[in-house]
Structure 1
Amino acid sequence: VTGKHVRLERLAQDHFPDLWENMGSHQDLWTWWPDGPYETREEHDKMLSEFMEFLKDDLTVWTIILVSGPKQGKGVGLALGLSEHRDSHRIGELGLFFGPDLQATRAGTEVPYLVTDLLFKGNHRRVGWKTNSLNKQSTNAAKRYGFVHEGTFRQDQINKGRSRDTAFFCVLDSEWPLCKAAFEKWLEDENFDEQQRQKRNLQEIRESLK
């Protein structure tokens, strides 16, 4: 899957060196992840290898590869598309793990657009997003992308020895056309000035299209 700023490739071992350099070695990124951080590349690669072994037909993991800029062709993050076991209900879920090169960038915004669109093209009725309720970067991103907060499961998990409340968000198939159109408008070159600053934010564009 190739967009204007990123290409999504199925996670493979030849991606591991880039992912360690551009994601895994940044220990501050692992605060909200169930595992990590990793002290060595060997530990990181072992985790990715085990991750690949457990991949099922209902879970796809892509390496996010930049298609332009100084790190063109490099893997800089992971995207996950999950189809829940309740296949007859057609429920999907989106997961993201961004290295610094994707954070607060046009490329980083293109990733959820591409993955969510893939999930809806796969005949899902809803696509979910769940995160630690304390992870404000993630909860704010979900709202920015157009996912609706549906509630919080208290004491839902224990993550690294700490109780986790899980915030749930989703977008429905009936809501996706508006969200998709807003993503596409926001990603247009015309929405950015010469310094690559956005002229209108994603929420403003989405509201204007209603």
Structure 2
Amino acid sequence: MTAPQPARSAPQPVVLDGHYARLEPIGPQHAADLFAASVPERYRWLFSHAPQSIGELQARIAADAAGPNRYVAVIDKTTGRAEGQQAWMRIFPEHASIEIGGVYWGPAIARTRVASEALFLFARHAFDDLGYRRFEWKCNNRNAPSKAAALRFGFQFEGVFRQDLIIKGESRDTAWFSIIDGEWPALRAEYERWLSPDNFDADGLQRTRLDAGSRPT
């Protein structure tokens, strides 16, 4: 049996380009777009509150850049606007384990092929380019839409950490999900099939559904 290997490196500040989404290192140039895409109720389950101004968001972006997590802006290639953000978190190259977190997909891209491709680009980069073995998704256990999204994207539910965190004055039980490297080839093929431009009509509506959630464990 081959011994497990560490990942090649932590993610570097590179651009990841797809058919519909482009991920680029977040910076102050994205603040105006991201502020326009901010909807207060969509911050219900995030660590932060909705920004009150572009300046506040610029300060938040600068503070995040100095921390351990690595944020990217999610660009809708149709409009060229930053419509969301996501981050590499819990980055452990020595264990080949990494998390997608800090996800905010604004209303223009939520539940669209842009958001799905943004997730796919992270997963593909982690597994194929950097050699990670484990790709995590975590959320508040009360966040039913996030848990449903994780399953739809092909993550496997692993359990709940009870009273894991205190967020915005509330106790959080954290639901854990993951994709591991042995599951990735089948998931990658299904994502590539679904994301093919041939799978969408002239209005961008899917012809067939993403079947990642039914992949075998």
What range describes the TM-score normalised by the shorter chain of this pair? 0.7 to 0.9
Cα 1:39–1:148 change in 2 (3 A) is: same
**Aligned mates of 1:134, 1:159 — CA distance in 2:** 13
Deviation at 1:83, TM superposition (A): 5.0
**2:142 aligned partner:** 134
- Describe the SS at the equivalent of 1:93: strand
2:33 matches 1:21: no
**2:112 aligned partner:** 105
Displacement over 6 Å in runs of 4+: none
2:168 matches 1:155: no
* Match 1:187 to one of 188, 195, 204: 195
CA deviations 1:87-125 (Å, max 9, x no partner) are: 321111112211111112111110100011111121111
- Describe the SS at the equivalent of 2:94: helix
**Aligned mates of 2:202, 2:77 — CA distance in 1:** 20
Contact 1:83 1:90 in 2 (8 A): no
Runs of at least 5 residues in structure 2 that lack an aligned partner in the other structure: 1-15
Q: Larger % of helix: which?
A: 1
Q: TM-score, normalized by length of structure 2?
A: 0.85
Contact 2:186 2:215 in 1 (8 A): no
**2:77 aligned partner:** 67
**2:10 aligned partner:** none
- Describe the SS at the equivalent of 1:75: strand
Cα 1:106–1:161 change in 2 (3 A) is: same
Deviation at 1:44, TM superposition (A): 2.5
Deviation at 1:195, TM superposition (A): 4.7
Contact 1:182 1:206 in 2 (8 A): no
Deviation at 1:11, TM superposition (A): 0.8
**2:125 aligned partner:** 118
**Aligned mates of 1:82, 1:209 — CA distance in 2:** 26
RMSD, matched Cα: 2.0
Deviation at 1:206, TM superposition (A): 6.4
Report how many residues are paired.
Answer: 200
**2:59 aligned partner:** 46
Cα 1:195–1:209 change in 2 (3 A) is: farther
Runs of at least 5 residues in structure 1 that lack an aligned partner in the other structure: none
Bigger RCO (CA 8 Å, 6+ sep): 2
Q: TM-score, normalized by length of structure 1?
A: 0.87
**1:9 aligned partner:** 24
Contact 2:153 2:213 in 1 (8 A): no
- What code does the residue aligned with 2:50 have? P
* Match 1:88 to one of 87, 94, 108: 94
Deviation at 1:207, TM superposition (A): 4.5
* Match 1:33 to one of 19, 22, 46: 46
**Aligned mates of 1:65, 1:171 — CA distance in 2:** 24
**Aligned mates of 1:162, 1:50 — CA distance in 2:** 24
Cα 1:186–1:206 change in 2 (3 A) is: farther
Q: What is the percentage of aligned positions where both structures have the same residue? A: 31
* Match 1:174 to one of 158, 162, 182: 182
